[in-house]
A and B are shown apart, each in its own frame.
Chain A
Amino acid sequence: MLQLGIKELAKYPFLAETGDYLRDKGFNLEQLSDPDWKPVVEKAYGRIVVATTGQIYGGNLENPDLEILSFVIAIILLKSAGISTLNRRFSLAEARRAERYLEQGLNALQKDRSILENLKLKEESIQSSLKIIQDLFSILVTMEDDRLKIRIADYLTRAAHFNEREWKLVNRRVENGHVYLSSHEIVRLVRKELDVYINSKIQSVSVSFIPETFRERVEDLVLLAKKFPTTVIVSSDYPPCIKHAIEVMDRGENLPHSGRFMLATYLLAKGQTIEQIIPLFKNAPDYNERITKYQLEHIAGSSGKATKYSCPSCEKLKSENLCFAIPECDGIINPVQFGTRRKTNA
């Protein structure tokens, strides 16, 4: 098995190897509670705060010890606070951070290695990307004529659950049992699993006691979580497709463009204002208030060509895998009719 260097571990501190690193260095919770480690606790707290704003923590790989320890302490803080919204936001942001490094490693693989600067570091970066993708997700990435490829079955188990048409297998280059993909696409395939993996790390860690030096920041996290918007309450009157979309957004998970469009057009049709709708999108991994406002205004017809968009039909939503019909949906052809039109007996 490949041993990751400390710099690589700083990129992917959620790996099991971090446990070995901590043991080798002799770190334990008692030791980390020493006031001398307060700056690392602050760094860990900052890492969580950045994640909760939907941004991706950059860090500094030149100080790998700090990177690894701040991640470990962040996990302890999160576990102690016990707030699942924070865990989800943190795991998603850390997954996005790791994606960047995975992609860099795969990109380096595609380049002529003889011209790479600092060959050893690049080689490590390549190997760690390949190893993580193989060990954590059982995907073997190989190269053919500077093109990256994975097995079709590995592709389908992920991409078939995406909604966008470009992810359909028919829209991919397929040859001899393999799908050819860019480094970005390969990493995109494992995003969800990476997120789940990091979240499971937070869930599985056991914290025997909360050091005094951590306690203040744990309380701060509890206060921080209270700030998250709960403006839109899921009403039982919402159709299941809209409920599902709201739940996905609430979990801070990625709702495809078509799903966001459905949600916006539905709520607009139901008389909500743009200002009332915006908070719903705050949990989106790529949330940007300015862009969200612009897009909602465009959909509402208050900007651009003043075209007001309607909520997509049930049939359209079915084809986009956004339909989760229940018996109460019988007789309607558009989500906006839900609850207002009932099936009548002929």
Chain B
Amino acid sequence: MLEKNVNFVETALKEYYFNNFELIHVPSRTSEREFGYQKFNSGMVRHLTIKNDKDLHFLLMTQVPSDVYCSNGYYSFPNLPMSEKDWKEADLIFDIDAKDLKLACRKNHTCFKCNSCQNVNEQSSKCVKCNSDKFDVISVTCQNCINEAKKEVKKLVQVLTEDLAINEEKILVYFSGNEGFHIHVTSSEYQTLDSRERADLADYIMFNGVIPETMGISRQNNSKTSLPDIGERGWRGRVAREIFGSKSKRPKIIQEILLGGYPNFQSRLEEMRPTIGVRIDPKVTMDIHRIFRLGGSINSKSGLSKIPCNNLESFDPFSDACLLGDEKVEILANCPTSFILKNKKYGPYVSETISVPKHVAVYMICKGVADVPQDNEN
């Protein structure tokens, strides 16, 4: 990020943290956690310990990090190198990111920043200015993406509560601060699972690796009695509801399945995975040493805050998590895609100087579609 942009965003972040200490807290069992942070244009600083909120706020004020992280794992010695930390257990964590949902709307709110000349293009074939074909992909706000991500969160919460018997009170849903949601599960019976065991749990949640035999279809000797019933719990019930829909259609569909045989049914299970499985990022869930974005902190990819969603249905991240100031500032904008923040539409802009609220300016600079103008540098 350009120095002038860094100065502008850091000032906005410092102001946010100073005014919102009540939003950003250390998590429980603080002394057993590892903390880390990043500054703009700089590497990760990790293996830190923080004692309490006061220490955290001091760090925010003195370092003004672009991003702040805290481990899902608990350690005897969180500030020692990884091999010496003595891992004890870790919270279950899930990341649902709209970009992984590969929605059709994506092309409408994505633009491409050329790695060579920094020009922002609508298309990714070749840069219109320099012909380069190397781009950074930039995605801006999209309500459809958030709505679809919310559906995944609901599916996840259902599997966690119904199948895994996790108390809903222990499930904390956060807006990630960019395009998705982070789900934290604390003090469950799954705390001590290792990475491989969590990978299998992630596969379960994603409905990954299912074999037809589980649904009562084997290579030989199939009968309609072993097929799942819509009233069953777990994946068998979900598959039955997906396949049969209603009881009246069941006999006809069963005939089709039995006639289609094993390979067809296997393909059908595979096809329904994105619909009924939960599209989490398995790498996050299986990571027992991850430092995960800290609740209340700003996400430097957008300038939005990672905040809890107490009512997922009504939660609008592009208003509720947009917590930087409203005072007008001038920026040089180059954004071929329009976006909405705090219910107001912005863009498209073609290399023009605009006056927008500070939260919009930070959002656009963080996204890489605007710069602080030359005369505002100081």
* B190, B196, B211: the one within 8 Å of A171 (CB): B211
Residues 327-341 of A, flagged 1 when their CB comes within 8 A of B and 0 if not, give 000000000000000
A69 to chain B, nearest CB (A): 39
B237 to chain A, nearest CB (A): 9
**Chain A interfacial residues counted at CB < 8 A:** 21
* B209, B211, B234: the one within 8 Å of A175 (CB): B234
| A165, B194: Cα distance in complex, Å | 19
Interface check B203, CB cutoff 8 A? yes
* B193, B211, B234, B235: the one within 8 Å of A166 (CB): B211
Residues of B within 8 Å of A178, CB to CB, are 165
Given contacts A151-B189, A170-B207, contact A160 B213 (CB under 8 A): no
Interface check B163, CB cutoff 8 A? yes
Which residues from 189 to 240 on chain B have a C-beta closer than 8 Å to any C-beta of chain A? Answer: 189-190, 192-194, 196-197, 199-201, 203-204, 207-211, 213-214, 233-236
Find the B residue at minimum CB distance from A156: B197
B33 to chain A, nearest CB (A): 22
Find the A residue at minimum CB distance from B195: A160
Residues of B within 8 Å of A152, CB to CB, are 164-165, 189-190
Residues 159-192 of A, flagged 1 when their CB comes within 8 A of B and 0 if not, give 1110001101111111111100000000000000
Contact between A171 and B193, CB atoms less than 8 A apart: no
| A174, B190: Cα distance in complex, Å | 15
| A178, B166: Cα distance in complex, Å | 11
Residues of A within 8 Å of B165, CB to CB, are 152, 176-178
Residues of A within 8 Å of B162, CB to CB, are 175-176
* Among A166, A170, A171, A174, residue most surrounded by chain B Cβ atoms (within 10 Å): A170
Residues of B within 8 Å of A157, CB to CB, are 192-194, 197
| A159, B208: Cα distance in complex, Å | 16
Residues of A within 8 Å of B164, CB to CB, are 152, 174, 177
Contact between A170 and B189, CB atoms less than 8 A apart: no
| A170, B200: Cα distance in complex, Å | 8
Residues 138-160 of A, flagged 1 when their CB comes within 8 A of B and 0 if not, give 00000000000001110011011
Given contacts A159-B200, A169-B200, contact A174 B234 (CB under 8 A): yes
| A160, B234: Cα distance in complex, Å | 19
| A156, B207: Cα distance in complex, Å | 16
A135 to chain B, nearest CB (A): 19
Residues 64-92 of A, flagged 1 when their CB comes within 8 A of B and 0 if not, give 00000000000000000000000000000
| A342, B197: Cα distance in complex, Å | 34
* A153, A168, A176: the one within 8 Å of B233 (CB): A176
Contact between A165 and B209, CB atoms less than 8 A apart: yes
| A245, B203: Cα distance in complex, Å | 26
Find the B residue at minimum CB distance from A177: B165
Residues 176-197 of B, flagged 1 when their CB comes within 8 A of A and 0 if not, give 0000000000000110111011
* A151, A153, A165, A176: the one within 8 Å of B211 (CB): A165
| A174, B166: Cα distance in complex, Å | 13
Residues of B within 8 Å of A165, CB to CB, are 209, 211
B114 to chain A, nearest CB (A): 26
Residues 147-165 of B, flagged 1 when their CB comes within 8 A of A and 0 if not, give 0000000000000001111
Residues of A within 8 Å of B192, CB to CB, are 153, 157
Find the B residue at minimum CB distance from A151: B189
Find the B residue at minimum CB distance from A321: B196
Contact between A168 and B209, CB atoms less than 8 A apart: yes
Contact between B204 and A174, CB atoms less than 8 A apart: yes
A244 to chain B, nearest CB (A): 16
Residues 110-137 of B, flagged 1 when their CB comes within 8 A of A and 0 if not, give 0000000000000000000000000000
Contact between A171 and B199, CB atoms less than 8 A apart: no
| A165, B266: Cα distance in complex, Å | 14
Residues 209-250 of A, flagged 1 when their CB comes within 8 A of B and 0 if not, give 000000000000000000000000000000000000000000
B105 to chain A, nearest CB (A): 30
Residues of B within 8 Å of A151, CB to CB, are 189
B238 to chain A, nearest CB (A): 11
Given contacts A151-B189, A175-B163, A175-B233, contact A156 B210 (CB under 8 A): no
Find the B residue at minimum CB distance from A176: B165
A169 to chain B, nearest CB (A): 4
Contact between A170 and B163, CB atoms less than 8 A apart: no
Residues 26-45 of B, flagged 1 when their CB comes within 8 A of A and 0 if not, give 00000000000000000000
Contact between B163 and A176, CB atoms less than 8 A apart: yes
Contact between B203 and A169, CB atoms less than 8 A apart: yes
Residues of A within 8 Å of B194, CB to CB, are 157
| A173, B235: Cα distance in complex, Å | 8
| A146, B341: Cα distance in complex, Å | 57
| A157, B201: Cα distance in complex, Å | 11
Find the A residue at minimum CB distance from B212: A171
Contact between A173 and B200, CB atoms less than 8 A apart: no
Contact between B210 and A171, CB atoms less than 8 A apart: yes
Residues of B within 8 Å of A176, CB to CB, are 162-163, 165, 233
Residues 100-114 of B, flagged 1 when their CB comes within 8 A of A and 0 if not, give 000000000000000
* A156, A172, A173, A175: the one within 8 Å of B193 (CB): A156
Contact between B189 and A177, CB atoms less than 8 A apart: yes
Contact between B200 and A168, CB atoms less than 8 A apart: yes
Find the B residue at minimum CB distance from A158: B197
Contact between A168 and B203, CB atoms less than 8 A apart: yes
Residues of A within 8 Å of B210, CB to CB, are 168, 170-171
A336 to chain B, nearest CB (A): 27
B358 to chain A, nearest CB (A): 47
Given contacts A160-B196, A161-B196, A174-B163, contact A169 B201 (CB under 8 A): yes
Find the A residue at minimum CB distance from B234: A174
Contact between B201 and A171, CB atoms less than 8 A apart: no
* Chain A residues close to B by CB (< 8 Å): 151-153, 156-157, 159-161, 165-166, 168-178
Q: Which 6 A-B pairs have the closest CB atoms?
A: A177-B165, A160-B200, A169-B204, A160-B197, A156-B197, A171-B214
Can you show 21 pairs from A to B with CB atoms below 8 A apart? A151-B189, A152-B190, A153-B189, A156-B193, A156-B197, A156-B201, A157-B193, A159-B200, A160-B197, A166-B211, A166-B213, A166-B214, A170-B207, A170-B209, A170-B235, A171-B213, A175-B162, A175-B163, A175-B234, A177-B164, A177-B165
Q: Given A157-B192, A173-B236, 7 more contacts at CB 8 Å?
A: A152-B189, A153-B193, A160-B200, A161-B197, A170-B235, A175-B163, A175-B234
* Chain B residues close to A by CB (< 8 Å): 162-166, 189-190, 192-194, 196-197, 199-201, 203-204, 207-211, 213-214, 233-236
